[in-house]
A and B are shown apart, each in its own frame.
Chain A
Amino acid sequence: MHSITVLKFNRIYRPAKHRLARKDWAAGRLILLTGVLIGLSACGGTVAIRDYFPDPVVAPLPYQVGVYYSPEFSSYRYHNEEDKVNFELGSKQVRLFDKVFAAMFTSRTAVSDPDSGQAQQQLDLILVPVLDEYAFLSPAETATNFYTVSIKYHIRVYSADNQIIGYWPFVAYGKNRSGSMSGLEPLGDATVTALRDAAAALVTQFRRAVETEDWRLPGESKQETS
């Protein structure tokens, strides 16, 4: 949030010629102040992330799945005091995962937390996506012209009787060229690219894992998918 400072100038009577000059200077100062404010706003702030994701083109697997999004996942907000970067990611990733799961399986329904022990309806699997880490590197940090984003997820897979049967980690990447005057918009675009990369990982690698039940159990070490 920006604070607004109201500048007051004492009125001094001067002959017409000087009044004109003073007006020019005041206008010049105002333009300079505006420029400084715009410049400062480009150093940090809120990142706009588009929340449009197309429907994935994929043949559905014959599974009825339940999906649970924890409050930490669905309302995740990235906030970095040092970078002064602040944006909401939770609703965007819920929208993406919802679209992907809806396309990947014959049916997808929202369920309650499987760890709560509540009985679930007749399902083949229950999926719980978890965001482990969101990170980005600015062009200054990589000495390139790009913002690069990585999002670390894992999917917890439960049986219909709420027993955890699998754990599938993966990392999604995105990058976008930075513009000289575009502020944090390229970071938002790099984040969208990373979310779309997550969709690509889900419809291919996670789908294969579901078909072959190639999970690992929590705590087991296995190279992460990237």
Chain B
Amino acid sequence: MPVILTSRSASRITGFLLIALLASGCVTTRVEQFVIDAPLIAAGESVVLLSNRQDAVVETEDSFLDCLYGRLKGMKGSVQIISEDQFKDELFPWFESRLAPTRAESVGILLEQPHIKSKADALGVRYLVWIHGESDATNKQGSMSCSFSPAGGGCFGMLSWDNNSSYEATIWDLKDSKSLGIISSQSTGTSVMPALIVPIPIIARTKGASCRGLGDQLVTVLSGES
């Protein structure tokens, strides 16, 4: 059944959607990096992004990995970025949680097995980037009530909460079986949602900010771009 919208109501809805999309809370991001003399990656070498899934409590969201993957894909040159799924499938099951190496030195031992080494060599993998961390919402405050009736409806009240995103990337060099360093990114912000008939979410997008911060530093370290 078609819903008939007048031009006035359509413009109201459009306006509301624009406000909801554009409104975002303030976010503070702190990135800690390490300095290297020269870009790590050479032409023809590959980088793998992996999430540390051995932690029983913290597990990095797939959406964060997708975001980081997208940023690294934008690197110049012929650097190939291999996704977690592809790498885990190619070396199945050695990077499943039960077997995944927990130290860079353990990768060297794993690669001593010829059939595993030949697979890794075929992919041209030089660096593993382990991502660990997650985003959460804390300190939820306020209240909101909504009611609807045949005559109409609406919501009244105010909600607020703190968004925190904390991630770190540990870079392992597979050639030398050693850890090169850790880059970390922490973003905090407060989201609010006032409602006067219609709730307007003003979200602090900390996960996106952390992705940008960590992604930019990884690009700098790997390729030398800034």
Contacts and interface: CB of A to CB of B under 8 A. Distances in A.
Interface string B57-69: 0010110000000
- Shortest beta-carbon contacts, A-B, top 8: A200-B93, A54-B89, A54-B92, A200-B98, A200-B96, A27-B3, A199-B93, A200-B99
B119 interface: yes
B90 interface: yes
Interface in A6-31: 20, 23-28, 30-31
Contacts of B2: 27
Nearest to B59: A177
Given A27-B3, A196-B92, A197-B96, A57 B59 contact: no
A196 B99 CA distance: 11
Interface string A147-181: 00000000000000000000000000101010000
29 contacts: A20-B4, A23-B4, A24-B3, A27-B1, A27-B2, A27-B4, A30-B1, A31-B3, A53-B92, A54-B89, A54-B92, A56-B93, A57-B92, A57-B115, A58-B115, A59-B113, A175-B59, A177-B59, A177-B61, A177-B62, A193-B97, A196-B96, A199-B92, A200-B93, A200-B96, A200-B98, A200-B99, A201-B98, A204-B98
**Size band of the A side of the interface?**
20 to 34
B96 A24 contact: no
Interface in B109-168: 113-116, 119, 150
B198 interface: no
Interface residues of B, number: 23
Interface string A23-45: 11111101100000000000000
Nearest to A175: B59
Given A57-B90, A177-B59, 10 more contacts: A27-B1, A27-B4, A53-B92, A54-B90, A55-B92, A57-B116, A57-B119, A177-B62, A199-B93, A200-B97
A68 interface: no
A108 B89 CA distance: 22
Contacts of A200: 93-94, 96-99
Nearest to B99: A200
B180 interface: no
Interface in B1-46: 1-4
B196 interface: no
Interface of A: 20, 23-28, 30-31, 53-59, 146, 173, 175, 177, 193, 196-197, 199-201, 203-204
Contacts of B94: 57, 200
A137 B202 CA distance: 33
Nearest to A31: B3
Nearest to A144: B57
A196 B97 CA distance: 9
A57 B91 contact: yes
A201 B59 CA distance: 22
B142 to A, nearest CB: 20
Nearest to B113: A59
A173 B91 CA distance: 19
Contacts of B98: 197, 200-201, 204
Given A146-B59, A177-B61, A201-B98, A56 B92 contact: yes
Interface centre among B3, B62, B91, B93, by most A CB within 10 Å? B93
A159 B3 CA distance: 71
Contacts of B91: 57
B5 to A, nearest CB: 9
Contacts of B93: 56, 196-197, 199-200, 203
A53 B91 CA distance: 12
Nearest to A58: B115
A79 to B, nearest CB: 28
Nearest to B119: A57
A201 B93 CA distance: 9
Interface centre among B61, B90, B115, by most A CB within 10 Å? B115
A24 B92 contact: no
B1 A26 contact: yes
